[in-house]
Amino acid sequence: MKKLILIGLIAFSFASCNSFLDINRNPNSPSADNLTPSLIFPGAEMALADHYGDYARIVGGYFAQQYSQNFGTSNYLDYSQWTMSATRSGTFYSQLSTLCLGNLETIRNMASKSEDWGTYLAATTLRAFTFQVLADAYGEIPYTEALDINNLSPHYDDGQVVYDGILKELDDALSKVSSSDLVCTNFLFGNSSATNWIQLANALKLKILMRMSAAEDVKSQLSALIAEGNFPTKDVAWSGIWADASGKANPFYLEEFATYFGSTQVNVVANLALYQTMVSCEDARLQAMFSPNASGNYTGSVSGTNFSTSKTYTAAYWCRPLIKYNTPVYLITVSEIEFFLAEYYAQYGGGDAASHYKAAVEASFNTLGVSGAESVLAAYPWDNTNYKRVIGIQKWVALGGINNYEAWCELRRLKYPAFGQVLGSDIYNVGTDVFTPSLYEPGTLYMPIMCNTELGNNTVLQRFPYPQVSTTRNSNRPATKLDNTPVFWAK
């Protein structure tokens, strides 16, 4: 276990709390015997914030058809074509497993021995969140044998086993804690009380249970949790901690927008699916999600190409995500919680689903600091009969500037936005350079111009291939599943 601690902390400095943000430094680690949860926890947080807030956001944006590839660049063209290789996500998988999960387990062991139940809950909550992120991506992952450094061939558990396991872990941690218990040093809430961590754990349970609800009967657990009603009243995000400096800014900003490293490559632009859906109902969130192009206009590109031979649709033509060095990295928002509550009441009855749907849309506007939810609610009014459609489309839009990875997860689960009748190749003809975005039907998806042939028609990428860093030399690696095989909650 000490080996895991030292590996996980090698990327962080202990001179000050702010130095935990510098992911490019490689200082000497402190003695393992002197480590405490307060020394380890911020580093584990930043490992999660870094990879969830950057890599997961990028791939989620492409797979959810919220992002497209910029003119002439090719870094993420495969994502735009809904393709993921077994090597591309290797760093994402290995860093979350080692820097995040390994250190969180160390903290849990320390906290359990000292009966520090506030810290134990905090570490358990982020652990459960991280395992869920990985299970949602890969479908099956090492879980029960994941953190044994002496086991080079860990068994892959089914996603439903992972979900059941992390739910039990959360329940166990919540049973031990009280709101007055203290929590070790952390960036997420910046205070010493367990109150906010209890609410976050409950919100995570809500998400877990709602995703499980199509695969098993969890109504009684959902009903008890919702009756308790102890959820966050503010968005949960790493906010107010980022600095305008190399290694300390928002991780997506560092990847795509920062000039600290001398990079001038621009990859991610707005996708016409999200853009035109928002334009169709005069959605004011558009200007909070994307910057105008070089001419001061808003535009959306098409999936599956990078317009590399175009003389008109060059880099200056497209809009970019509006990301700043201090943009928060969101774990869960009030809007997401309200969407889940609306879905629960629509599915099971016993409450006002329409009010929660309205609150979800309004909360999304509040997160982005804009007004005008009325026009969206008029264009997409509550429909109890087709609740998955209105929730699915509006959750997809709401997450478009906040948490694109969760947008990809939810559209796989809810099956909305659904596919329209138009193909990407109808919208843009690569040979003639004719771009006709008006053909797109707002509130739908379309098949990319060039697309992963394994998916078939009208199917988004359903999972990542098992990561090569985990399967190589693993005698217990599972048989490969096709890219169109849903994870357990999306079947």
- The answer to whether the CB of 56 falls within 8 A of the CB of 138 is no
Cite the DSSP H helix spans in 305-447: 334-348, 353-368, 373-379, 387-399, 404-414, 424-427
Lowest-confidence segment of 144-158, 159-173, 368-382, 399-413 by average pLDDT: 144-158
Q: Which two tokens stand for residue 51?
A: 């990879």
Q: What is the mean pLDDT of residues 16-23?
A: 50
In DSSP terms, which residues pair with 428 in a beta bridge? 435
In DSSP terms, which residues pair with 444 in a beta bridge? 418
d(Cα 143, Cα 163) in Å, to the nearest integer?
Answer: 10
Question: Residue ranges per domain, the chain?
Answer: 38-244+327-422+457-490
Among 47, 37, 38, 51, residue whose Cα is nearest residue 7: 47
Taking CA atoms, 453 is separated from 187, 417, 458, in Å, by 43, 21, 11
pLDDT class of 138 with cuts at 50, 70, 90 = very high
Token pair 């968005």 is at which residue? 235
- Torsion, Cα 104 110 116 122, to 10 degrees, reads 0
Residue 135 pLDDT greater than 70, yes or no: yes
Q: Tens of pLDDT along 145-171?
A: 998 888 989 999 999 999 999 999 999
The kind and range of the H/E element at 329 are strand 329-332
- Torsion, Cα 222 225 227 230, to 10 degrees, reads -140
pLDDT of 152: 86
Residue 284 pLDDT greater than 80, yes or no: yes
Rounded to 5 degrees, what are φ and ψ at 183? -125, 145
Lowest-confidence segment of 27-31, 126-130, 170-174, 413-417 by average pLDDT: 27-31
| Inter-axis angle of helices 55-63 and 404-414, nearest 10 | 40
Taking CA atoms, 121 is separated from 30, 45, 124, 165, 176, in Å, by 25, 14, 5, 15, 8
- The topology under which CATH files domain 38-244+327-422+457-490 is 1.25.40
The amino acid present at 3, given as its one-letter code, is K
Rg of the chain over Cα atoms, rounded to whole angstroms, equals: 22
Percent over 90 (pLDDT), the chain: 89
Q: Tens of pLDDT along 27-82?
A: 445 556 678 999 999 999 999 999 999 999 999 999 999 999 999 999 999 999 99
